Amino acid sequence: MELIPNLPDDVARECLLRSSYQQFPVIASVCRAWNREVSLSQFLHQRKASRHSQELLILSQARVDPAGSGKIIATPEYRISVLESGSGLWTELPPIPGQTKGLPLFCRLVSVGSDLIVLGGLDPITWQAHDSVFVFSFLTSKWRVGATMPGVRRSFFGCASDSDRTVLVAGGHNEEKCALTSAMVYDVSEDKWTFLPDMARERDECKAVFHAGRFHVIGGYATEEQGQFSKTAESFDVSTWEWGPLTEDFLDDTGDTVSPPTCAAGGDLYACWGGDVMMFLNDKWQKVGQIPADVYNVTYVAVRPGKLIVIGNGKALAGYGEATVGYICDLSSSRWVKLETHGGHVQAGCFLEV
């Protein structure tokens, strides 16, 4: 059966490749052949290769008080906002079914292929830890429930993805506030969790990035340290299924850290701390720029080809409902351009190309 009657399939496929991601659910509903076409992993690869894909910035953001009352919100309601990088259009994803009070607090967001994965967090009402996993498909525009995280219910864990198939989780603390050494990996397509070998040390409130085939877990603290953040890091090699040796002085060049800097990985590894942009060069952190002065507290950093994206609070003591401030830095010229943002406090984010 032809994809489009009286057209060669390669021409018809080119038409589908040029469609907006927002049209995918309609395309998939037209006929089985179109549904099958846009559901293939090759379809997404072809969109990227032909430069028809769209880059999306996805944020977990607190709702802004529409009346502008400035009233302090004890427990903010978070939802998922999406920025189309090309058009500058902001949209909002449909709420997760059953989550009437918004996203879990301090949940993690990562992208894998054309899917957004929301992991863990705290119940906005009871503040009990979630072991839930929710997956939003940008091909179908629908949520599904993933396999729950195994083992103890953990909070404030490090999390990153390889962007292709898996999500990796490490550290955090259990419901007794004991820091954890355990780690695990989630295969999104198989909807299956597998435990990794334990880390060398406990890491509560650690940061994590995936870079150069390794899952890097940075900082954090042990149970008895309670907020005295370590400057160590360790990396899991997914090809050998082993943790590398502990790097004792990984954060020594970032200053006296109260908490690990907000890190991001692309072709290189970057961190934002104390108003500075740092880059990991020749096995040490080096200052390569300065964050714009009106970003008081960086809550999200991302690296894209030739660009660094920084989002944070626009006031030193901003409330959850206060507007955020964002910038894009051209890494070749070190020039910052303000990003048109909307919404309140950002607790997590990721990029997705679809």
Same domain, 35 and 148: no
Model confidence over 110-121: pLDDT tens digits?
Answer: 999 999 999 999
Is residue 62 one of the residues assigned to a domain?
yes
Which residues touch 253 (CB under 8 Å, ≥6 apart)?
A: 278, 284, 285, 286
Same domain, 59 and 37: no
Same domain, 16 and 71: no
Same domain, 228 and 346: yes
Q: Token pair of 154, please?
A: 């953990």
Is residue 2 one of the residues assigned to a domain?
no
User: Hunting for tokens 């040390």 — which residue is that?
Assistant: 201
> In the predicted model, is pLDDT for residue 56 greater than 60?
yes
Same domain, 29 and 134: no
Is residue 4 one of the residues assigned to a domain?
no
Q: For the chain, percent helix, then strand, then coil, each to nearest 5? A: 10, 40, 50
> In the predicted model, is pLDDT for residue 74 greater than 70?
no
Q: How confident is the model at residue 321 (pLDDT cuts 50, 70, 90)?
A: low
* Count of Cβ atoms closer than 10 Å to residue 168 Cβ: 23
| Nearest to 186, CA basis, from 137, 143, 150, 152 | 150
Q: How confident is the model at residue 161 (pLDDT cuts 50, 70, 90)?
A: very high
142-145 and 158-161 as β-strands: parallel, antiparallel, unpaired? unpaired
Share of the chain above pLDDT 90, in %: 63
Q: Token pair of 254, please?
A: 């970032």
Task: Please state, rounded to an integer, the average pLDDT across all residues of the chain.
Answer: 90
Q: Token pair of 346, please?
A: 């950002």
Q: How confident is the model at residue 262 (pLDDT cuts 50, 70, 90)?
A: confident
Q: Token pair of 133, please?
A: 């996993």
Same domain, 189 and 256: yes
CA distance 62 to 86: 24
pLDDT at site 253:
66
Looking at residues 241-256, what average pLDDT do you find? 85
Model confidence over 101-144: pLDDT tens digits?
Answer: 999 999 999 999 999 999 999 999 999 999 999 999 998 899 99
| Nearest to 153, CA basis, from 129, 133, 176 | 129
Q: Give the total number of structural domains in the chain.
A: 2
Same domain, 14 and 148: no
Please give the residue range of the domain that contains residue 35: 9-48
Same domain, 78 and 191: yes
Same domain, 126 and 244: yes
CA angle (262 as vertex; 261, 268 as ends), nearest 5: 100
pLDDT at site 316:
54
CA distance 88 to 333: 22
Q: How confident is the model at residue 71 (pLDDT cuts 50, 70, 90)?
A: low
Q: What is the CATH number of the domain that holds 252?
A: 2.120.10.80
